[in-house]
Amino acid sequence: MEKNEIDALKEKLFYAPKHASYSMTEDEIRGADDFCEGYKNFLDNGKTERECTAEIIKLAEANGFSQFIPGEKYSQGEKIYYNNRNKSVILCVIGKKSIAEGVKIAAAHIDSPRLDLKPSPLYEDSDMAYFKTHYYGGIKKYQWPTIPLSLHGAVVLKDGTVIKVTVGEDDEDPKFVVTDLLPHLGREQSKRTLGEAIKGEDLTVLIGSRPFNSDDASESVKLNIMNILYEKYGFTETDFLSAELEMVPAFKSCDIGLDRSMIGAYGHDDRVCAYPAVMAVLDAEEPEYTVMSVLTDKEEIGSDGNTGLNSSYMKYFINYLAVAEGYDGYQVLRKSECLSADVTAAFDPIYPEVMDKRNSAFINKGVAVMKYTGAGGKSGTSDASAEFMGKVRRILDDAKVIWQVGELGKVDAGGGGTVAKYVANLDVDVVDIGVPVLSMHSPFETVSKIDVYMAYRAFSEFFKIK
């Protein structure tokens, strides 16, 4: 056999994903870069699930979506959104086919790891004022000190008034910081393991250092801070009890690399799948099936809570649509299909030892399809069927969406879960698919622009199923 024949045979018989740009035109690559400008905007405007929900509803309304009314019967082509408690949202376009044929779902989450303020967060020590925090989601605690933080969230007053808080996002805004020990005095600290070097209770945020009226009375710095908050927002210390306030990294998204091929930002997990899922449903014109993007909350803490996908809000939403057409929800769910759109770990050549290179996702090789997630013997995953994997593969290949296989890491290295199992538990076919991320769950994660665009293309094609 000639060498080129052998190469052709390899091409035919081997699975060998390549850098996506090899099979993209200049125009397509430029299209991917352009798409990511919108994504970067989305990242900077939404750093919490509340902000993302508001941003997504704004986009939806601008694209002709109206608020869902339970019990209403919707007809083909109608665009609706369901706002679940301002922290998760479903965007839906009614299809040509009967709802009894099932719906197509893309589900991504809009919460990200961060530092939540405790219910009684404010105190003063050594003439400095602090907020105590309880971290939310899986973080490496040592990554959070000595970076600029911003404060986001909502405070609900006793009369029900909701006060929105954002401090630290504008250039001229003050920021906040968790301090760390100087290396000169860190001899004992540096003997601790990485997981224990910074303890949960050490993630306490410095928020002020000047006393009220230059007064030397006790807790004068705390009083000054509380007075600033009262004058600006009208709330008192007791109101922290009915608040959801979060510290997140204050930096904006930006291009990474001299070639500008990547994006660095806080919260790619999972806004990097949420934004493409939102764009795909906004662009879904007269779909055959009813299509919906579910942008959910609480994934980072296990999907529990009534804004997470382990609750019934999506099931009930689908049931409302089903009943309006004369069916039961379960008849729709059993014929429905879902892309669980969540990120996966990208292979990092600096830390190859935890990855199985043959089953890892790589940045720039397209959107990653993961048959299962979970940990230690596929525990805590839905494990998609070969049949559904086959169908998804066919859809992606037919539309020339660049994709690759992904697995979180070596079998015994650790693991993680997604919303897939909660959707699968509703009798829906589901598979995980998403963008590979470097430094996942850190305050500043990195993704490839091409992969973000391929996620958008994958969800779009899924919504075009005939």
- The single residue among 55, 270, 348, 445 that binds Mn ion, judged by CB under 5 A, is 270
From 165-173, 214-222, 268-276, 321-329, give the range in contact with Mn ion by CB under 5 A. 268-276
Contact 419, 299 (CB under 8 A): yes
Contact 90, 81 (CB under 8 A): yes
CB of 454 to Mn ion, least distance (A): 17
Cβ neighbours for 332, distance < 8 A, ≥ 6 positions apart: 99, 100, 102, 103, 318, 319, 321, 322
CB of 412 to Mn ion, least distance (A): 20
CB of 349 to Mn ion, least distance (A): 22
CB of 388 to Mn ion, least distance (A): 20
CB of 109 to Mn ion, least distance (A): 6
Q: According to the binding rule CB under 5 A, does residue 49 interact with Mn ion?
A: no
CB of 108 to Mn ion, least distance (A): 8
CA atoms within 13 A on the CB side of 12: 6
From 125-133, 206-214, 262-270, 329-337, give the range in contact with Mn ion by CB under 5 A. 262-270
As a whole number of angstroms, the distance between CA 89 and CA 53 comes to 6
Give residues 355-384 in contact with Mn ion (rule: CB under 5 A).
none
Contact 32, 453 (CB under 8 A): yes
Place of tokens 């035919």: 12
Q: According to the binding rule CB under 5 A, does residue 342 interact with Mn ion?
A: yes
CB of 45 to Mn ion, least distance (A): 19
C-beta closer to Mn ion: residue 107 or 318: 107
217: region left, alpha or beta (phi > 0 left; psi from -120 to 50 alpha): beta
C-beta closer to Mn ion: residue 169 or 342: 342
What one-character DSSP code corresponds to residue 35?
H
Instruction: Tell me the C-alpha to C-alpha distance, in Å, between residue 193 and each of 188, 189, 196, 243, 352.
Output: 11, 9, 5, 34, 21
Give residues 86-125 in contact with Mn ion (rule: CB under 5 A).
none
Using CB under 5 A as the binding criterion, the count of chain residues that bind Mn ion stands at: 3
Q: According to the binding rule CB under 5 A, does residue 269 interact with Mn ion?
A: yes
C-beta closer to Mn ion: residue 56 or 93: 56
Query: What is the x/- site pattern for Mn ion, positions 150-169, by CB under 5 A?
Result: --------------------
Distance of CA 283 to the CA centre of its chain: 20
C-beta closer to Mn ion: residue 342 or 451: 342
CB of 432 to Mn ion, least distance (A): 10
What one-character DSSP code corresponds to residue 200?
G
Query: What is the x/- site pattern for Mn ion, positions 215-254, by CB under 5 A?
Result: ----------------------------------------
Q: Which residue's CB atom is positioned nearest to Mn ion? A: 270
C-beta closer to Mn ion: residue 52 or 225: 52
CA atoms within 13 A on the CB side of 94: 21
Quote the Cα angle for 98-80-270, to 5°: 105
From 256-264, 334-342, 365-373, 403-411, give the range in contact with Mn ion by CB under 5 A. 334-342
Place of tokens 């991504």: 108
CB of 299 to Mn ion, least distance (A): 6
Question: For the residues of 125-168, what is the DSSP string, one character each?
Answer: ETTEEEEEEEEESS--GGGSTTS-EEEEEEEE-TTS-EEEEEES
From 327-335, 341-349, 368-376, 383-391, give the range in contact with Mn ion by CB under 5 A. 341-349
**Site residues (CB under 5 A) for Mn ion?**
269-270, 342
